[in-house]
């Protein structure tokens, strides 16, 4: 056999081996346990299940995601640590609880910063947000695959809240961290309590208002029966959840699998946003219009000014907190919001 013939046979053999390796990588089964942030019967969890089905189809059944409702394995607050330890392969909506371990995590949706879901997506995709979130996620040996947008949260209350002045003296539930400090700065008497205690606290008068979910989520929970007023559209929290996967799980995938999952995350975020927006509009249509309080740009600007002083305090807590704060403030200024 000629030298050329032997060379061609070697090239052919190498190509065949390469294709076999690619095929083996694609054929390898990847099964992920991922815990969500909501219960199994919610619109948001059902969208999570649809995302898992899309990933399964897009990867030709090679990546299968078990969608676990909130609290199935660990609490939402412990989900990031569970990802790092290997107890979970991924988690949805855990970063909001990690501000005590890494202050930058408290800036995941910048309380009182955004009033449009599109603007938050723009910061993540065009303003450097995803890159910074990956730096934060790395502290838990995880990869940040994107935000899933839920929409603006609405504050249910027992009296109408038309401006920041109306928060003074109001007994209010809030999650810990930046939100609690902002409401306290407005003069509210803030109580930090788990979501499971909110309904009873409203019913007994322990609190008069609460930071919780979007209008439809709050009304589904029955809050409107005991706290009939709601700020709508919301003004304080562009509700979104982060999606984290353990780095070793992510790097084990092929480029094609990663691309398919990344595209599915974007579709998941858009689909969830649209479903939640429709649910909120339907909830609003069922209400007495007098119970819905709408804030203007002036009122939202006043809230943002108070919130910024709290953001600044938190930005000094770590280098990553300073980086994510500076990034979001620069982006909001480019939109004319600051």
Tens digits of residue pLDDT in 105-163: 999 889 999 989 999 999 999 999 999 999 999 999 999 999 999 889 999 999 999 99
What is the 8-class DSSP label of residue 38? S
Question: Same domain for 69 and 213?
Answer: no
pLDDT above 70 (res 266): yes
Per the model's pLDDT, the better-predicted residue between 96 and 276 turns out to be 276
User: What is the per-residue pLDDT across 224-246, written as a single tens digit (0 to 9) for each?
Assistant: 999 999 999 999 988 889 999 99
pLDDT above 60 (res 18): no
Question: Same domain for 50 and 108?
Answer: yes
Question: Same domain for 130 and 61?
Answer: yes
Does 6 reside within a domain? no
Per the model's pLDDT, the better-predicted residue between 4 and 307 turns out to be 307
pLDDT above 90 (res 294): yes
Q: What is the pLDDT of residue 9?
A: 53
Does 5 reside within a domain? no
Q: Which of 267, 284, 301 is the last residue of a domain?
A: 284
Q: What is the pLDDT of residue 22?
A: 41
**Measuring CA to CA, how many Å separate 274 from each of 23, 102, 127, 151, 281?**
37, 31, 23, 9, 11
Question: Same domain for 315 and 232?
Answer: yes
Does 57 reside within a domain? yes
User: What is the per-residue pLDDT across 58-79, written as a single tens digit (0 to 9) for each?
Assistant: 999 999 999 999 999 999 889 9
pLDDT above 60 (res 290): yes
Does 182 reside within a domain? yes
CATH number of the domain encompassing residue 188 = 3.40.190.170
Q: What is the pLDDT of residue 126?
A: 93
What does the mean pLDDT of the chain come to?
Answer: 90
Domain count, the chain: 2
Question: Same domain for 199 and 324?
Answer: yes
Q: What is the pLDDT of residue 205?
A: 95
Task: Annotate 23-36 with b (16+ C-beta within 10 A) or e (fewer).
Answer: eeeeeeebebbbbb
Question: Same domain for 173 and 314?
Answer: yes
Question: Same domain for 71 and 220?
Answer: no
pLDDT bracket for residue 338 (50, 70, 90)? confident
Q: What is the pLDDT of residue 109?
A: 82
Contact by Cβ (8 Å): 227, 157: yes
Contact by Cβ (8 Å): 179, 303: no
Question: Same domain for 318 and 195?
Answer: yes
**DSSP-based three-state secondary structure for 266:** helix
What is the Cα–Cα distance from 292 to 240, expressed in whole angstroms?
22
pLDDT above 60 (res 20): no
Q: What do you get for the CA distance between the two ends of the chain, in Å? A: 76
240 strand-pairing partners: 149
Does 11 reside within a domain? no
pLDDT above 60 (res 298): yes
Task: Annotate 66-92 with b (16+ C-beta within 10 A) or e (fewer).
Answer: ebbebeeebebebbbbbbbeeebbbbb
Question: Same domain for 216 and 99?
Answer: no
pLDDT bracket for residue 4 (50, 70, 90)? very low
Please classify residue 62 by burial: count the beta carbons closer than 10 Å to its beta carbon, then call 0-12 exposed, 13-18 middle and 19+ buried: buried
pLDDT above 90 (res 299): yes
Q: At what angle do helices 117-126 and 129-137 cross, to 10 degrees?
A: 70
Work out the percent of the chain whose per-residue pLDDT is above 70: 92
Q: What is the pLDDT of residue 27?
A: 61
The mean per-residue pLDDT over the stretch 159-188 comes to 95
242 strand-pairing partners: 147
Question: Same domain for 272 and 298?
Answer: no
210 strand-pairing partners: 173
pLDDT above 90 (res 200): yes
pLDDT above 80 (res 189): yes
Does 40 reside within a domain? yes
The mean per-residue pLDDT over the stretch 308-336 comes to 96
Per the model's pLDDT, the better-predicted residue between 16 and 280 turns out to be 280
Question: Same domain for 128 and 48?
Answer: yes
User: What is the per-residue pLDDT across 22-42, written as a single tens digit (0 to 9) for each?
Assistant: 444 456 899 999 999 988 988
Residues spanned by the domain of 250: 29-150+238-284
pLDDT above 50 (res 11): no
User: What is the per-residue pLDDT across 47-58, written as a single tens digit (0 to 9) for each?
Assistant: 999 999 999 999
């Amino acid at each position: 056999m000629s030298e050329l013939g032997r060379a061609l046979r070697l090239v052919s053999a190498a190509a065949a081996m390469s294709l076999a390796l690619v095929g083996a990588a694609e054929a390898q089964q990847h099964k992920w346990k991922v815990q969500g942030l909501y219960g199994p019967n919610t619109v948001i969890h059902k969208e999570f299940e649809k995302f898992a089905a899309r990933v399964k189809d897009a990867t030709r059944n090679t990546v299968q995601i078990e969608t676990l409702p909130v609290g199935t394995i660990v609490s939402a607050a412990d989900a990031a640590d569970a990802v790092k330890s290997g107890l979970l392969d991924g988690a949805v909506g855990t970063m909001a609880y990690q501000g005590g371990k890494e202050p930058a995590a408290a800036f995941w949706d910048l309380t009182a910063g955004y009033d449009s879901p599109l603007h938050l997506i723009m910061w993540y995709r065009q303003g450097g947000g995803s890159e910074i979130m990956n730096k934060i996620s790395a502290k838990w040996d995880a990869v940040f695959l994107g935000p899933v947008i839920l929409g603006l949260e609405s504050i249910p209350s027992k009296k109408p809240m038309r401006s920041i002045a109306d928060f003074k003296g109001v007994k209010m539930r809030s999650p810990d961290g930046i939100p609690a400090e902002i409401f306290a700065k407005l003069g509210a008497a803030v109580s930090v309590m788990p979501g499971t205690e909110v309904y009873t606290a409203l019913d007994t008068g322990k609190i008069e208002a609460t930071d919780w979910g979007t209008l439809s989520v709050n009304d589904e929970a029955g809050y409107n029966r005991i706290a009939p007023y709601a700020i709508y559209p919301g003004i304080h929290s562009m509700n979104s959840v982060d999606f984290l996967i353990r780095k070793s799980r992510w790097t084990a995938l092929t480029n094609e699998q990663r691309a398919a999952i990344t595209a599915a995350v974007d579709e998941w975020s858009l689909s969830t946003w649209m479903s939640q927006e429709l649910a909120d509009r339907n909830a609003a249509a069922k209400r007495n219009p007098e119970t819905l309080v709408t804030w203007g740009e002036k009122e939202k600007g006043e809230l943002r000014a108070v919130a910024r002083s709290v953001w600044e305090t938190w930005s000094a807590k770590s280098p990553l907190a300073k980086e994510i704060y500076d990034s979001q403030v620069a982006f909001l200024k480019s939109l004319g919001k600051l």
